[in-house]
Amino acid sequence: MTNPTGSYGFRDVGLIEGADPNFGVITRPIQVSSTMYQGDPAFQTGGYWAPAATTGASGAGISGVFESFEWPSVAAGRQVYQRYWLGLTTDIQAGGTALARIKVSPQTVFQARVSGASNNPITQAMVGNLVNYTPNNNLPVSGANLSPYTVDATTEVTSSATLPFKIHAIVPAPESDPTSSGNEVQVIFNPASFSQA
């Protein structure tokens, strides 16, 4: 079976077994000049939240994953709730603030597609290793407003204090073919690099 190549970001699929119930979602102002989607890794900069941008083998800690966005819309004449923010700064009513809900629980398990020219697919032998994300800009449907982020298999290593995600599990068939490139995996925040909000 060939896996799809489309990305959807880091989708919340639950908590690590045995963790206390905790939604682990905070609401914070966003850096409105940036485009961001549900499932984008996120970090704080200058008091605001923005999509994470440090790709490659070194990586950098993140503080959460975007869940949803809201703002007082000029066009709609009311508070709007979406799974994306497209950087439309002129649509924020005067004196209003664009906000994001961000998943910050260190117990959260995320599911994401794998991309990269090496170590792809990610296999069972790699569970417990660390990886980075990459915005591969390969959206499955034009205009679907889905996150372009995937797991970057080329960054997979056995230990790292800077890479943001730890491979938690392999998604099995029929949802994903674990023997083919572009498979899906579950990841958790890397405790060594996670920056608690």
Evaluate whether residue 1 is within a structural domain.
no
* 21 CB neighbour count, 10 Å cutoff: 7
**Structure token digits, residue 86:** 């497209």
Domain closes at, from 88, 103, 118: 103
Residues 91 and 115 placed together within one structural domain of the fold:
no
Domain count, the chain: 2
pTM of the model: 0.93
Q: What is the pLDDT of residues 78-124, one digit of tens each?
A: 999 999 999 999 999 999 999 999 999 999 999 999 999 999 999 99
What per-residue confidence (pLDDT) applies to 20? 67
100, 28 Cβ separation under 8 angstroms: yes
Among residues 74, 103, 132, the one where a domain terminates is 103
CA 114 centroid distance within chain: 12
**Is 145 found in the same domain as 128?**
yes
Please report the DSSP string for 126-150 in residue order: GTT-EEEEEE----SSTT-----EE
Same domain, 86 and 148: no
Q: What pLDDT, on the 0 to 100 scale, is given for residue 137?
A: 63
Q: Does residue 88 sit in the same domain as residue 112?
A: no
- Report CA torsion sign: 27, 56, 147, 126: negative
φ/ψ of residue 29, rounded to 5: -70, 145
- In 3D space, the residue among 66, 61, 76, 74 whose CA is nearest the CA of residue 28 turns out to be 66
Q: Are residues 99 and 113 in the same domain?
A: no
**Per-residue pLDDT reduced to its tens digit, 31-43:** 999 899 999 999 9
Domain annotation covers residue 6: no
Domain boundary among 103, 127, 158: 103
The pLDDT tens digits of the residues spanning 43-75 come to 998 899 999 999 999 999 899 999 999 999 999
Query: Among candidates 106, 137, 122, 116, which has minimal Cα distance to 171?
Result: 122
Note whether 183 and 112 are same-domain residues. yes
DSSP collapsed to 3 states, 70-104: EEEECCCCEEEEECEECCCHHHECCCCCCEEEEEC
Please state, in angstroms and rounded to a whole number, the distance separating the CA atoms of residues 96 and 74: 10
- Per the structure, the complete domain to which residue 30 belongs is given by 25-103
Q: Are residues 117 and 148 in the same domain?
A: yes
Same domain, 62 and 128: no
Query: What percentage of the chain carries pLDDT values higher than 90?
Result: 80
Percent of the chain with pLDDT over 70: 93
> Does a structural domain hold residue 197?
no
Q: Do 162 and 89 lie in a common domain? A: no
Q: Looking at residue 1, what is its pLDDT?
A: 74
| Residue 109 φ then ψ, to 5° | -105, 130
pLDDT at 4 over 60: yes
User: Within a domain: residue 169?
Assistant: yes
Is the pLDDT score of 6 beyond 90?
A: no
The yes-or-no verdict on residue 140 having pLDDT over 60 is no
Q: Are residues 77 and 98 in the same domain?
A: yes
